Amino acid sequence: GLGRARNLGGAKARGRLLLFLDADTQLDSDALATIAREFTPNSACGTLRGKPDCPKLLYRMLYLWKNFLHRASIHQGSSGVIFCWRDQFKEVGGFDVCLQVRENSDLIRRLRRLGNYKYVSAAAAVTSMRRYEKRGLSATWDWLKIWTESLVTDLRDRSYEVVR
């Protein structure tokens, strides 16, 4: 599973700073240098500005909203990339291997107990819109529904629909 694979990567990593990237996400060419410059020890975790891989107005508006939520710390989540300090990742036990949905948000929530959440807008994480191309706005509805459910219930039995 994804959590186990990411935990294995975190365990094998030799650097102090870990970066977890979703399979459908690419980083701007300067993203690593930007993270190294802006992510300081007083922060425990963070993400980059999200950007859709398709220029449709609807997708740009969706990411404008999502980036606003991250920047304002209304939702301290992931834009397809999470970075954190290796020692703190180990301290919180890494990704919860029982979660298949909201595993990123769960890790960020636990890391925030150790330091600040950092939203870095100077570089972007470009994410595929294939789920939206296939399912339309129902993909957004599903995300909102799962996010709301995560506030009141355990999601260990939930998973996302596979989109290829």
Which tens digit of pLDDT belongs to each residue from 8-59? 999 999 999 999 999 999 999 999 999 999 999 999 999 999 999 999 998 9
Tell me whether strands 43-52 and 116-127 are parallel, antiparallel or unpaired.
parallel
Cβ-contact 101, 155 below 8 angstroms? yes
Q: What is the overall mean pLDDT for the chain?
A: 87
pLDDT at residue 148 is higher than 80: no
pLDDT at residue 152 is higher than 70: no
pLDDT at residue 99 is higher than 90: no
Residue 4: band (very low, low, confident or very high) from pLDDT cuts 50, 70, 90: very high
Cβ-contact 66, 139 below 8 angstroms? no
Residue 163: band (very low, low, confident or very high) from pLDDT cuts 50, 70, 90: very low
Residue corresponding to tokens 């990742």: 89
Least confident of 25-29, 105-109, 119-123, 136-140: 136-140
Q: What is the pLDDT of residue 132?
A: 77
Cβ-contact 31, 48 below 8 angstroms? yes
pLDDT at residue 161 is higher than 90: no
